[in-house]
Amino acid sequence: MQNLSRRRVLSLGVALGLVGVTETGQAWAGPSLAGTGTGTGPEYVWDSAADPLMASMVDAGKVPSINSAWATWVNNNDPLPSGLPTDFAAYLQQVNQLPSWADMTKLRRAADFNRRRDLYLFMLYGLGSGIMSTVIPREARSVYWSAGGANMKDRAAKTFTFGYDLSQLDAYEPTGQFVVTANKTRVVHAAVRHLLPQSPQWAAVTDESIPISAADILVTFHSLGTYVRRKLLDWKVPFPAADQEAFLHSWQVALYLLGVPVEHIPQTWAAAEAQSAQVLTPILTPTTEGIALAEDLLGLTAEIDLGVTRGFLNEFVRYVLSNEVGDWLGLERDYVSAALIKTAWPAYILFHEGLSPIMPGTFYMVDQFVRALAMLFLNKGTSPTTTGITIPTGNRAAG
């Protein structure tokens, strides 16, 4: 993305016959976990299990009692809480488990990789993927006009919960929390699919009739997992093939838990990169909603001491995404910081990874910056124990 403009990517996509493939209902680039990825395109797949259930829960006014009941349902081995509607509890009982093809050896290796590379991951998930989400039009508009868009600190905290729980050593173990977090997130998505089409503000700006399709979830995955892997490789952070395979498997299981059909989950990183080139890079563009969200997200960092100026923060966003994205979002330039980052970040990685015996003079400043961002992620805007995922009952009000 750094040196490839959207226009060039779009032209390349058209030349390769990739752009717009999903609009015809054809499968995305494969292979998938199912082997081929043929059938209905993921743009026309939502969640046949969760969607009708949550529509009935919302319309019957049962959401507040569900939110209250499942507040204490946190760990993967926790029993389902009492007080849930019978049909809702039956649904959770069915889906709250790992798929039969989940490989615990790979998942444990992924957990260890997350531990060893946590500073890079949290920084890239937060500053890279988080800001990239604001130039994914469908995602930005859905977030902005849903209930969570009115309180971005709370919305970011809930988003961080997903990434934080996925990154834990015991994420998929009985004592971990990610399986529960993923299933709560899936239910929230289903509720938003029912609620958001009722918003005239969202309907006026979207090109979808129903938000958060399987395609949209996969686009978000590529802005997270695929993007992070690519940046680690670009930065020459040691990333053995076994770690890469385990990292992908962790995301494959996560996508499954979010309700994405296996025929659309990429089987390999090559397939993931092909999907990303097909459906993520060409669609990146600014929106009114996305620009507002980006400023809200960057404003969250003002609440902690990053040890750097806002100009440095703006330039780091430009560095990890591109100047084009920075221009779209109106991030003011700081050319001194830009020059510093260009030399300081590669030197920081080399020393941090033990690949250079020379400590750069900027090491402590950069290290403080990265660790402060990681703490923002780890604290999820509040604290790891106080942020609960809740199901919305309405949309963002106009104005």
Backbone angles phi, psi at 54, to 5 degrees: -75, -30
Domain containing residue 374: 288-379
What's residue 97's pLDDT?
Answer: 94
Do 185 and 68 share a structural domain?
yes
- Tokens in use for 48? 């046949």
Residue 87 placed within a domain: yes
Do 233 and 109 share a structural domain?
yes
What's residue 319's pLDDT?
Answer: 97
What's residue 20's pLDDT?
Answer: 32
Residue 112 in this model has a pLDDT that exceeds 80: yes
What's residue 39's pLDDT?
Answer: 58
What's residue 161's pLDDT?
Answer: 73
Of 233, 262, 283, the residue that ends a domain is 283
What's residue 90's pLDDT?
Answer: 97
The number of angstroms, rounded, from the C-alpha of 305 to the middle of its chain's C-alpha atoms is: 25
What's residue 14's pLDDT?
Answer: 28
Do 309 and 242 share a structural domain?
no
Do 351 and 335 share a structural domain?
yes
Residue 392 placed within a domain: no
Residue 9 placed within a domain: no
Of 265, 283, 301, the residue that ends a domain is 283
Over residues 43-52, the pLDDT tens digits come to: 999 999 999 9
The confidence band for 377, taking pLDDT boundaries of 50, 70 and 90, is low
Residue 388 in this model has a pLDDT that exceeds 50: yes
Residue 59 in this model has a pLDDT that exceeds 80: yes
What's residue 379's pLDDT?
Answer: 62
DSSP, residue by residue, 169-187: TTTTSTT-SHHHHHHHHHH
What's residue 368's pLDDT?
Answer: 87
DSSP, residue by residue, 66-117: HHHHGGG--STTSPPPTT--HHHHHHHHHHSS--TT--HHHHHHHHHHHHHT
d(CA 307, CA 164): 23
Among 14-18, 159-163, 222-226, name the most confident range.
222-226
Do 298 and 279 share a structural domain?
no
**pTM score:** 0.89
Residue 354 placed within a domain: yes
| Coil/strand/helix, residue 240 | coil
Query: Mean of the pLDDT values across residues 18-43?
Result: 56
Q: Which residue in the block uniquely carries the two structure tokens 């221009």?
A: 327
Do 187 and 56 share a structural domain?
yes
- The string over 54-88, giving b where at least 16 C-beta atoms fall within 10 Å of a residue's C-beta and e elsewhere, is beebbeeebbeebbebbeebbebeeebbeebbeeb
Residue 333 placed within a domain: yes
What's residue 378's pLDDT?
Answer: 61
Half-sphere CA count of 113, side-chain side, radius 13 A = 25
Domain total of the chain: 2
Do 238 and 333 share a structural domain?
no
What's residue 306's pLDDT?
Answer: 76
DSSP, residue by residue, 128-145: IIHHHGGGSHHHHHHHHH
What's residue 216's pLDDT?
Answer: 96
Residue 388 placed within a domain: no
Do 203 and 179 share a structural domain?
yes
Residue 19 in this model has a pLDDT that exceeds 50: no
Average pLDDT over the chain reads: 86
Residue 291: closest CA among 181, 134, 142, 184: 134
Of 283, 309, 324, the residue that ends a domain is 283
Q: Which residue in the block uniquely carries the two structure tokens 């054809």?
A: 26
Do 233 and 146 share a structural domain?
yes
Residue 147 in this model has a pLDDT that exceeds 60: yes
Q: Which amino acid is at 249?
A: H
- Among positive and negative, which fits the CA dihedral 240, 244, 250, 253? negative
d(CA 264, CA 157): 28
What's residue 162's pLDDT?
Answer: 81
Do 179 and 53 share a structural domain?
yes
Residue 25 in this model has a pLDDT that exceeds 50: no
CB 128 within 8 A of CB 228: yes
Over residues 170-195, the pLDDT tens digits come to: 999 999 999 999 999 999 999 999 99
Do 225 and 337 share a structural domain?
no
Query: Mean of the pLDDT values across residues 227-243?
Result: 97
Residue 16 placed within a domain: no
Higher per-residue pLDDT: 306 or 146: 146
The number of angstroms, rounded, from the C-alpha of 32 to the middle of its chain's C-alpha atoms is: 20
The confidence band for 374, taking pLDDT boundaries of 50, 70 and 90, is confident
| Coil/strand/helix, residue 363 | helix
The confidence band for 372, taking pLDDT boundaries of 50, 70 and 90, is confident
Residue 272 placed within a domain: yes
Q: Which residue in the block uniquely carries the two structure tokens 């498997």?
A: 249
Do 200 and 58 share a structural domain?
yes
Residue 50: closest CA among 221, 216, 193, 251: 193
CB 92 within 8 A of CB 183: yes
Query: Mean of the pLDDT values across residues 121-128?
Result: 88
Over residues 297-310, the pLDDT tens digits come to: 888 776 667 778 89
CB 328 within 8 A of CB 135: yes
Over residues 327-344, the pLDDT tens digits come to: 999 999 999 999 999 999
Residue 352: closest CA among 109, 110, 112, 117: 117
What's residue 399's pLDDT?
Answer: 63
Residue 5 in this model has a pLDDT that exceeds 50: no
The confidence band for 163, taking pLDDT boundaries of 50, 70 and 90, is confident
